[in-house]
Structure 1
Amino acid sequence: MISQLLETINSKYPLSSRGSAGFDGIKVKGMTFNISSYEAEGLGHVSTMQSKGFFGLMQMDTLIITPIDTDLPIYSYDRIKAMGNDKLYIEVYDTVINKPSFAPMDSVKQKYSDLPKANLGKQWYEDIRLPQTATYSGKRTDSDRFDSMALEYMKAFISINGAAIEDQEAKNSKTAYYVDGLLSNGGPATDVFLKAIGKERTTTLFKEVLF
């Protein structure tokens, strides 16, 4: 699925590899993380993180879009498959100065309104998580439709034209609020890296590779 999502992004915003700053292949708690980052021309920064562990019984994929060159929100795709369960988390964070119309995304979300939803509960970033966030938790039998939803949602996101950024400092500040918040407040994935490689290297991973 990651390759299909990257192809979708590349169809509008040409991707060029930026490497992984030495983090590709890092091993944490029995899992190997394959990490890559890209520059998306006209959009900003894109990163991917794919991992497998526990003899292939668990698979986790992440793709993050951090718009820098156009006024769109951060888009985060997470997929976790383990022991016959499948979770799809697409979270969209308000890092925009002038909000565009999210109608294409709203239409796709409504189309898949019957998918089994996941309640992530209250989080520190609740104030910037947009309504276009879509989270699901199901079984292996739901995987094909999760795939379809994820691909259509990415196509919808890419179809939205963000405004030209009038205040780059303000845009960067909104992005930094979220990234710094992850490092300060933690979370399941963040905490794993903090414990395994420490605050300094985790900060480098987040600020130079993932976002």
Structure 2
Amino acid sequence: MRFEPGRLILHRDTHHGRIAFVHPGRVISDDDRGLLIWVARGAAIAVERTLDGRGPRDFPFADWMAAAKQPRAAAWNGPGVLRFFPPGENHSVWFFRDDEGSFTEYYVNLEETAVRWDDGEAAGIDVTDQDLDIVARADGTWFWKDEDEFAERLARPDLYWVPDEAAVWAEGRRVIKKIEAGEFPFDGTWVDFRPDPSWTAPTELPQGWDRPVTTRS
């Protein structure tokens, strides 16, 4: 399954069958290299929150998992961001920008590979964020991010959705080799991307955004 360029699809982060966030993105390309989408500033999103509006970083992990939660409407308030999902790989690469639209850094989300779905009116990808991340600069320097959060959650295997800590670290180290070598997509590809000025940020999510999480084979 591939998505047509220009189509609006949904990027969903999912945990144990729950939807942690839904971000609509415009398809830039979808080919053998992978799926590239653009999430615009101001786009309508949904984010999982407790009933009193708090997020996962407002609690110890066990308390967050025990709390009653639901997706809440919000907006993507940061600069627009490109997101690249290489096929069959357990990470995505986000191209962060400043308010003027200039590239600032690569943000590597370590996650279970994207699973695609298409219901007609709504379509998208479901991933499972594994929390450990990498921030990389254009000069090949990098650093780990959220190691403490990853460790805290690994200490609760009865609650956490990451079954194999070693596999996550191994994927990160594999990506770091690409960063240091300046290999695609860390070779300057897409750092000068500019979105089509006719694209407007979606003001609401399409019907079906909360469809059941896609089962992984």
Q: TM-score, normalised by structure 1?
A: 0.34
More strand by share: 2
